[in-house]
Amino acid sequence: MAKEKGRKLIAQNKKARHDYLIIDTYEAGLVLTGTEVKSLRQGRASLADGFVQLDGNEAWLHNVHVPEYSQGTWTNHSARRKRKLLLHREEIYKLEAKSQETGHTIVPLALYFKDGRAKVEIALAKGKKEYDKRQTLREKQDRRETERAISAVRRKQRA
């Protein structure tokens, strides 16, 4: 069987980019059981309520929903169990030092397969205030409007 190449996205946490200001991102491996991998290969997972907790020299991913494998038996996993993240020791120390600051947290952004291995993209983030969220939405809307205006002008020039 040929080895997988590239990146295959399973789940993405779009709400995290809306609710948090992303400061730094890291790629971490996941320790999974066999039925979890099979369920992820079917493209089923949710990062909506997920967060990362640092415990000593280990990082743990909490509240990520990986549904039970449909053809699994008594060996099936529990859907919301905590999963160990595989990070370098230096990365864990950096994350621990930065996450101690007020208002900082570590959230998962994406879950994907990279060259056949399950990976999660985590981010050190700071919670946005309500006015920051409105500002971001306003900037996004302004960008869209300018792009529409530019494309309309280009269409008129071609005709």
Q: In the prediction, which pLDDT does 110 show?
A: 92
- Cα-only R_g, the chain: 19
In whole angstroms, what is the distance from residue 120 CA to residue 24 CA?
Answer: 14
Helix/strand number for the chain, H first, E second = 4, 7
Strand arrangement of the beta sheet that strand 20-30 belongs to? 7-12, 104-114, 117-127, 20-30, 83-86, 58-62, 51-55
Name the least confident of 18-32, 78-92, 114-128.
78-92
**Residues 14-57: pLDDT tens digits?**
888 888 889 999 999 998 887 888 888 888 788 888 889 998 88
pLDDT for 38: 81
Tell me the pLDDT tens digit for each residue of 135-147. Answer: 888 998 999 999 9
β pairing state of 104-114 and 7-12 = antiparallel
> Does position 86 have pLDDT exceeding 90, yes or no?
yes
pLDDT > 80? residue 72? no
Flag whether pLDDT at 1 surpasses 60: no
Which residue, 141, 101, 121, is CA-closest to 17? 121
pLDDT band per the 50, 70, 90 thresholds, residue 79: low
For residue 19, how far is the Cα from the chain centroid?
13
- Reported as type and span, the H/E element at residue 157 is helix 130-158
Nearest CA-CA partner of 29 in 89, 93, 86, 112: 86
d(CA 42, CA 111) in angstroms, rounded, equals 13
